[in-house]
Structure 1
Amino acid sequence: MENLTYNSPVLQLEGLVVSELYIYPTFLSLLFAYVLIVISNTAIILLITMERRLHEPMYLLFCNLPFNDVFGNSVVVPRLMVDMLKPASERYISFRDCITQAFGYHMFSVASNCILMVMAYDRYVAICNPLHYTTIMTTKMVAKLTVSAWAATLLLVCILLSFTLRLNRCGTFITNPFCDNASLYKLSCEGSFISNVYGLVYTAVIAGCSLTTIGITYSKIAIVCLSSQNKSLNSKALKTCSTHLTVFMIMWSCGCSMFILHRFSGVAEYRKAAALIFHIVPGILNPLIYALQCTEIRHVILKLLNIKKLVP
């Protein structure tokens, strides 16, 4: 039973609940996944940065995605692994560190949507307005889109957490593997209509903008492809858009599962698993999908591996 302490500076994390028999196998699995995420995503960023032929708007905008995957997993996974090796009664975290982790977690989740939205705009311009692509998607425009995505993310997350921080806390037990706004809000001993409303608006804005942007851009891309007899255009659209849509669907399905399960008290373990999958699975699959699907990235990788016969 949790202690009722008014605005305690120290909180207790539930962490990942694993039986003693599976602690070390789970720890090693998480360690392997985290190392794989860091190495593969960092490698993609370095590859795009150092290879001149990849200095195109599509790849430069994509760099934000592996950076965000490394950032988001670094905020959650190392702390989760350390807590696994501690007894459940000793998994303490300071309120300041908990807020920092919640900030990082929400930055990761919102940025994932914002980055995929600006990438969808890039694909729309490339396929629906190819003659003006180079004049629209300049280096300056890429910089503006990148800054806008991160600025919007920062603003939304800061407002979300500011409403929770102003509430007094009576609880000290975080019923989650890591800190997030929903878990912190549950510690409050006072209701807040404004916080509830903003939380719903926050979710609706992110989900609505993301789905609307992807839906509109890809509807227009589909119309152009269906009305065009250019097989080269259709092939290019299919390759680049299928990659982007695959990444979007993976992120969206993991995020929706976690959001829905957060609303039901009887499925806590499934919610925790979904929260972990939301971080790890996209971080592992994103670089793999782009490396295999994008011809230019695949050619550069094969070149670096000294494979002379390149796959066309």
Structure 2
Amino acid sequence: MESFENLYNISSVLSLQGFDLSSESSLTAFLFATLSYMVILFCNLILLITIIQNKSLHQPMYILLSNLPINDVIGSTALFPQLLKELLWDTRTIQFSACVTQAFFIHLYGGGAVFILAAMAYDRYVAICVPLRYNTIMTNAHVMKIICVVWISNFILMAVLFHLLLNLPRCKSQMTHSYCDNPSLLQLVCTDTTINNIYGLLVTAFTQVVSLGLIFYSYLRILVACYKNKRSDTRSKALQTCATHLIVFLLLECLGLFTIISYRFKNLSASSRRLIGVSTLIFPPTLNPIIYGLKTKDIRTKIVMLCQQKLLHI
């Protein structure tokens, strides 16, 4: 029996919504996107290499932090090659298989970001609220278990999400977005998507409840512990570390929330919706390593030393 796509002559090539830019504006956007991608790769790789090369940073907090640049590189690499291709050659087509792959890794990035930040909040909770038991609780084995839970659970959640999507017949090939994600792909389906929508909402609710719940509880306990601590230097250092985590988390949450809300407002222009969606995959991966590099003294010192060593060998 012929597949649904062959039966209804559905193309395996999808048409993406472009940014409707002039040739001059497209060139400017291409240069900006290229620069953004290079900055994201450079900053995140510098942060990752710094943590890997310095044994003094082989501590639970930094080991957990090292997952953040890995996740940011995954998310940005899922977006930028296709975006640069579109801007440079004004091509607005993508193979369906490539589109699904891009969407999978973009969603993997989104889920991974909140899970990793939640794991980091848990680490800070143990370090500040029960410091005498920190080394007993946050052993290397326990940290690796946390990392495995973060990545495996995130992968399974997204794999099921896209398995449900691929089981549905498709009767359209015109995307409503400049890149691929699950909501845009669902709009190509010509049958009932209730199960997919419910599962998607459950995944979103689960990730948000787990991450927000753990982060809110951890930082509430941390604030109480800092308030009770009589040493101002210890209190200041703890609050500075927590502030860094909160800035990164709130940035991700706000941009993610704007992206989700943009799908609900039908009156919002397509260009605005596309810009909001792209910003979620540009700003957090760019700012995360900069924020941690500037706000975390140990990392900042090691990055400066690493750069000095590289410059001396040139």
By the TM > 0.5 criterion, same fold?
yes
- Residue in structure 1 matched with residue 49 of structure 2 by the alignment: 46
Task: Return the letter of the residue paired with 2:277.
Answer: A
- Residue in structure 2 matched with residue 70 of structure 1 by the alignment: 73
- Residue in structure 1 matched with residue 279 of structure 2 by the alignment: 277
- Rounded to whole Å, the distance in 2 between the matches of 1:108 and 1:42 is 16
Q: Secondary structure at the match of 2:190?
A: coil
- Residue in structure 1 matched with residue 164 of structure 2 by the alignment: 163
CA contact (8 A) 2:186 2:193 kept: no
- Rounded to whole Å, the distance in 2 between the matches of 1:271 and 1:213 is 30
CA contact (8 A) 1:5 1:171 kept: no
- Rounded to whole Å, the distance in 2 between the matches of 1:110 and 1:303 is 33
Shift of 1:262: 1.4
- Rounded to whole Å, the distance in 1 between the matches of 2:172 and 2:84 is 24
Cα separation, partners in 2 of 1:187 and 1:305, compared to 1, 3 Å: closer
- Residue in structure 2 matched with residue 248 of structure 1 by the alignment: 249
TM-score by length of 1: 0.93
- 1:29 lines up with 2:16 in the alignment: no
Gaps in structure 2 of 5+ consecutive residues: 1-6, 310-314
Shift of 1:235: 1.5
| Alignment deviations for residues 236-281 of structure 1 (CA, whole Å, 9 cap, x no partner) | 2112111111110111111111111011222122221111111111
- 1:195 lines up with 2:178 in the alignment: no
How do residues 259-298 of structure 1 correspond to structure 2 at under 5 angstroms? Answer: 259-267=260-268, 268-298=270-300
Moved over 6 A (4+): none
CA contact (8 A) 2:106 2:181 kept: yes
- Rounded to whole Å, the distance in 1 between the matches of 2:162 and 2:305 is 46
CA contact (8 A) 1:175 1:183 kept: yes
Q: How many pairs align?
A: 302
Cα separation, partners in 2 of 1:6 and 1:208, compared to 1, 3 Å: farther
- Rounded to whole Å, the distance in 1 between the matches of 2:147 and 2:215 is 17
- Residue in structure 2 matched with residue 94 of structure 1 by the alignment: 95
Gaps in structure 1 of 5+ consecutive residues: 308-312
CA contact (8 A) 2:118 2:215 kept: yes
- Rounded to whole Å, the distance in 1 between the matches of 2:13 and 2:247 is 41
| Alignment deviations for residues 3-41 of structure 1 (CA, whole Å, 9 cap, x no partner) | x95543221112333233311011000000000100110
